[in-house]
């Protein structure tokens, strides 16, 4: 399931994707875990790939848990 994390997005600072790297570097500097995990990234990638397959085939696509 989804989790809510106490993270304030830096959307208004511009360069949204660059801010991902800034947050990661901040976590390394402080010795903390990043707000998202490798598993979160895997799931997001699977969802995006399924969306592309659905667009190509016109059919619903399952996403592995």
Q: Tens digits of per-residue pLDDT, 29-44?
A: 999 998 888 998 899 9
Q: Average model confidence (pLDDT) for the chain? A: 85
Q: Could you tell me which residue, 64 or 55, shows the higher pLDDT? A: 55
Whether pTM > 0.75 for this model: the answer is: no
Query: What is the predicted pLDDT for the residue at 48?
Result: 94
Count of Cβ atoms closer than 10 Å to residue 54 Cβ? 12
| Dist. CA 38–CA 25, nearest whole Å | 16
| Dist. CA 43–CA 61, nearest whole Å | 14
């Amino acid at each position: 399931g989804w989790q809510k994390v106490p993270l304030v997005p830096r959307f208004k600072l511009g360069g949204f994707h660059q801010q991902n790297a800034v947050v990661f570097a901040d976590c390394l500097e402080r010795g903390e875990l990043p707000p998202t995990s490798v598993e979160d990234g895997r799931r997001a990638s699977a969802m995006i790939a399924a969306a592309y397959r659905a667009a190509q085939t016109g059919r619903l696509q399952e996403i592995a848990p």
